[in-house]
Amino acid sequence: MEQDNFKSVSEIKSKVVSVDNTESKKEPTVITMTDGVLIPKKSNKHLVTSWRLTFFGALILLISLCVFKKDVYWKIFIYVITGLPTTFECTVFAIFGAILIGIATGLGSSSKNRVINQICGVYVELIRGIPLLVQLMFLYYALGALIHIDGIVAAIVALSICFGAYMGEIIRAGIQSIPKGQTEAARALGLSKSQTFFSIILPQTIKVVLPAIGNEFISMLKDSSLVSILALSDILKRGREYISRTFLSLQTMLVVALIYLILTLVLSRLVGLMEERLHKNG
């Protein structure tokens, strides 16, 4: 049969990716996002140095406060850190939900079907035009009057829907950044649409959008502090509870800020290492 003459998908993939030698010499496309901390890279000495100064400065300050003023800051730290599991639970589950929504939205926005394209466009514009705080309150309090929604579920759903819109634009831009010649070459070599997308387009798209997705994850971690309005015991909520008991607002908010800063810097470094390893392995 004619299909038997086709080579394996991996062999075709190698041909498609290298079909244009001029494209391989170009610098990889990078999608930059401004909402989030910068991801340090080895090639950017200034950024790495700034990251180290900020991270170790915050870590040393937090440790020093807890050691030398243990009667105040250590008690605050022990109380506030108990909200870390809730913060991570909201963030981790929400990022997976946002990625799924983002992939569907990105594919829909890139679709030639006008109806699907318009639906995805309306969703993106609608969600991005409404603050996350309003979405949280609408989902938990307004819809909560009609159907019972647990606070943790409302937080995860709201974060997923909100960041899914931004993720959709990231995925769409990543797909469109891949040269059309690769798709045409893959189809000419006998790959189906699904094989072309999953074997040729998607792997390259992941490399392009990974920094932006990493920044969205970091931004989501910070914005998860808004779920405290849903009476969830996250880091910020625990800090507010401690303030209501002791009236140590300055000290408590300082500890909360340092915890968030250290977490975001650690995540930014992990995302940077992941990106470098992905590009190194091809």
Judge whether residue 18 has pLDDT over 60.
no
Residue 4 has pLDDT above 70, yes or no: no
**Mean predicted confidence (pLDDT) in 135-144:** 87
Contact 38, 268 (CB under 8 A): yes
Q: What is the structure's pLDDT at 198?
A: 79
Residue 76 in this model has a pLDDT that exceeds 70: yes
39 part of a folded domain: no
pLDDT tens-digit readout, 49-67: 788 889 999 999 999 999 9
Total number of domains constituting the chain: 1
Contact between 107 and 124 (Cβ < 8 Å): no
| pLDDT at residue number 16 | 52
Nearest CA to 101 out of 85, 123, 86 is that of 123
CATH number of 235's domain: 1.10.3720.10
| pLDDT at 101 > cutoff 50 | yes
pLDDT score recorded for residue 48: 60
pLDDT value of position 188: 82
Binning pLDDT at 50, 70 and 90, where does residue 194 land? confident
E strands, 12-160, where?
none
What is the structure's pLDDT at 146? Answer: 83
Residue 23 resides in a domain: no
Kindly state whether residue 83 falls inside one of the protein's structural domains. yes
Residue 35 lies in a domain: no
> Other CB atoms closer than 10 Å to residue 269's CB: what's the count?
17
Domain presence at residue 4? no
Residues in the chain, overall count: 282
Report if residue 3 sits inside a domain.
no
- What band does 23 get if pLDDT is binned at 50, 70 and 90? very low
Distances (CA, A) of 143 to 81, 156, 225: 31, 15, 21
Range 86-111 average pLDDT = 90
261 C-beta neighbours (distance < 10 Å), count: 19
Q: Does the CA dihedral 58-224-132-253 come out positive or negative?
A: negative
The verdict on residue 191 lying in a domain is: yes
Q: Highest mean pLDDT: which of 19-33, 134-148, 244-258? A: 244-258
Return the SS3 of 211.
helix
Could you tell me if residue 1 is inside a domain? no
What is the band of 43 on the pLDDT scale with cuts at 50, 70, 90? low
For residue 136, the enclosing domain spans: 45-281
- For the segment 209-231, the average pLDDT, to the nearest whole number, is 87
